[in-house]
Chain A
Amino acid sequence: MKRVYADEKWCIGCHLCEYNCAFANSGCDDMVKALKDKEIRPRICVEDRDKITYAVSCRHCEDPICVKSCISGALQKHDGMITIDQDKCIGCLTCILVCPYGAVSENGTGVVQKCELCLENSCGEPACVKGCPNRALIYEERGES
């Protein structure tokens, strides 16, 4: 399965992936309207370790503890991708309690959000990867079992 991988060698820490993620998942077709004067809640997060930067988003684990731990059955694995049914989610945040990558977050309306590879929104491919100016994010298959 294709996943999003980060390459810290090329990441310049511009945080564009976070903005592109928030925009792609806003349901809005105008980036300014979607993001201006708003607290953005991206599903990808740029981290900084001794000035080395890299982006972290859902790893779509082969054995996902978030799905196993979800108390509402809202997190599911479909064809390798971990999806969240926000209508079923009740915001207990058990997924945030267990995700070893810190890749699930609150969406501000009482439920959680996570990377769904932009396959569930109108973007169709990961907006973070598409908009990365230095190809520090890669969307590809790696070491499939």
Chain B
Amino acid sequence: MKNYVIIGNGVAAAGCIEGIRSVDKESKITVVSAENYPVYCRPLISYYLEEKTTLEKMNYRPADFYDVNGCEVVYGKNAVSVNKDEKKVVLDDGNEIAYDALCVASGSSPFVPPFAGLDTVENKFSFMTIDDTLALEKAINKDSKVLIVGAGLIGLKCAEGIVEKVSEITVCDLANRVLSSILDNECAEIMQKHLEKNGIKFMLSDSVDKFDGNRAEMKSGKIVDFDVLVLAVGVRANTSLVKDIGGDVNRGIIVDDKMQTTVCGIYAAGDCSEGNDISVGQKRVLAILPNAYIGGNCAGINMAGGNSEFSNAVPMNSIGFFGLHSMTAGSYYTEEEGGELYEEKTDTGIKRLYMKDGILTGYIIIGDIARAGIYTSLVREKTPLDGINMDLLKKNPSLAIFSPEISRKKVEGVI
């Protein structure tokens, strides 16, 4: 019998639990949960405000999940340190939990730049947790003027979630475009126009210089008066537990393809971890839910003595606003970097396929996203394009792009 300990109770932790249980049905699993909720679907918090889901439906797993999987969850406690020599996790109440194998799935925290005068703002919120969401829900009303700092995924989903419930939303960002981590200028412009049509105002290439109560003085000199402030500048991986004991840490906790950190017996997964992004061949934090589950699951299997690798992680996002969807995956190499671009524009959208060295390295689609997963699989599997029908590939994703032998295997075989 082993003692498994998981620090964190998000989707990576759920993946880890299910990974452990696929190998070891008996040993004890202890989960340290800072938040007082069973594992929930974090990206759904904006849908909750939009009333497209409920707190109950946001549960990621059924109510008996921990019981069925023989887990003890320690709610409302933070792990403050790891004693790697004695193999113990120390909690903020002084209690210690012994482990044989440990998974750090501690997630990330909102990054708040040191804005001058931020302490004078009364109604300020982050947008990461259920508690953030419930607090924001209480603070807004139909007359609220909301300023959101950050035009990334979190800030814009927040804007979409509350636009019907408030009077005005302004989103500012230092970047010159919305969703700058996943979209280039032209694609971002399409999304921005669509968001503007739906009532969101933007101040891009601009940020707050200082706050004075409910007033923001922007770097450009403009003034924004607001009632509610949402800070969605970015997130930072929670790495200190591993960093403090000498484990390799960059922006995230460095892991190999087995999700092992550089400290013996300690694994990491989810938004706190930094593994290989095969679309660039470098270590990167890929803070997306699919990778959290897959990485956590892989870690769990290995912790329990199984053998699993997560060796095809790429950035990939599906995100829609007010009915317009965008899908992106991989990396976009410019012509100067040796990349080749195929582009197709329609009235409402755009498709861009980025190729380099005979493979599809990435793509951006806004609008017609049907069957885009076939493109994503080419990126993740680094499928050589010399066996692919390029005319069909460009037109529409389908299995017909593959050679007859391969497409036949896909529909006739057990996958």
Of A3-11, A27-35, A118-126, the one contacting chain B is: A3-11
Docked complex Cα distance between A90 and B289 (Å): 15
| Contact present for B412 and A98 (CB under 8 Å) | no
Residues of B within 8 A of A55 (CB): 411
Number of interface residues of A (CB under 8 A): 46
How far apart sit A141 and B412, CA to CA, in the bound complex (Å)? 11
CA distance A120 to B44 in the complex (A): 26
Using Cβ atoms and an 8 Å threshold, which residues of chain A touch B329?
A: 97
A92 touches B297 (CB 8 A): no
Interface SS majority for chain B:
mixed
**Is B407 an interface residue when CB atoms closer than 8 A count as contact?**
yes
CA of A1 to CA of B399, assembled, Å:
23
**Docked-complex contact B376 and A98, CB < 8 angstroms:** yes
B325 x A93 contact (CB < 8 A):
yes
Interface presence of B41 (CB below 8 A)? yes
Contact A101 B399, beta carbon cutoff 8 Å: yes
What is the CB-to-nearest-CB distance from A10 to chain B, in angstroms, rounded to a whole number?
12
Q: Given A49-B407, A102-B370, A102-B373, check contact A94 B289 (CB 8 Å).
A: yes
Known: A59-B410, A96-B372, A97-B376. A69 touches B290 (CB 8 A): yes
* Nearest CB of chain A from residue B15's CB, rounded to whole Å: 7
**In-complex Cβ contact of A102 among B61, B398, B412 (8 A):** B398
The segment out of B52-60, B183-191, B243-251, B339-347 that lies at the interface is: B52-60
Q: Which of A45, A65, A98, A144 is B414 in contact with, Cβ under 8 Å?
A: A144
- Can you list 28 A-B pairs with a CB-CB distance of less than 8 A? A5-B413, A7-B412, A47-B399, A47-B400, A49-B399, A49-B400, A49-B407, A54-B408, A59-B415, A68-B15, A68-B293, A69-B293, A71-B43, A71-B289, A73-B59, A87-B57, A90-B52, A93-B327, A94-B318, A97-B372, A98-B290, A98-B376, A98-B377, A102-B370, A105-B370, A105-B371, A143-B413, A144-B414
